Amino acid sequence: MKEFKFKRYCKTLQLENDPKLIAQYKAVHDIGAAWPEIQQGMKEVGILDMEIYIHGNTLFMIMDTVADFDHEKAMQELMTKPRQREWEAFVSRFQKTTAEASADEKWQLMERIFELDQKEKYDAGEGQLKVIRCD
């Protein structure tokens, strides 16, 4: 049986409560709309997958990373990647934040309070180590 280990982080962010801005924010995240340099930078720092969900003006992100991911270090490195600062300034107009804020300053880590068949607790900043077993 093979095992695949990764870390999971969950984050939240508030958008401005303006239907036009929310529609525009969704549009810049539509299929093929996000800047390729941003997605490449995320992969380079160890982000394997990311999903963003919306309810009203609240965003919820699931970020899966390599198993040895260091969140603080990776977020600092991410800000050095091509166009990252430009992207953060661009999307800040939709968010309850400033144009100077980094992704790490905008997106707040969430604490997990329940998991089906939970066996242990974890620190949100450390990420939750997940293991997938398959044949």
Q: What are the backbone dihedrals phi and psi of residue 84, each rounded to the nearest 5 degrees, phi first?
A: -60, -50
Q: How far apart are CA 98 and CA 117, in angstroms?
A: 40
Q: Can you give the pTM of this predicted structure?
A: 0.88
Sign of CA dihedral 121, 8, 45, 83: negative
Q: How confident is the model over 66-121, as pLDDT tens digits?
A: 999 999 999 999 999 999 999 999 999 999 988 888 888 899 999 888 888 877 78
CA angle 58, 59, 64 (to 5 degrees): 155
Q: How confident is the model over 65-81, as pLDDT tens digits?
A: 999 999 999 999 999 99
List residues bridging with 63 in a β-sheet: 9, 50
Do you know the residue count of the chain? 135
The two tokens of residue 108 are 């707040």
The two tokens of residue 124 are 């949100």
Domains of the chain (ranges, CATH numbers): 10-113 (3.30.70.100)
List residues bridging with 11 in a β-sheet: 61, 109
**Residue 52 pLDDT exceeds 90:** yes
Give SS3 for 95.
Answer: strand
CB atoms within 10 A of CB 74: 18
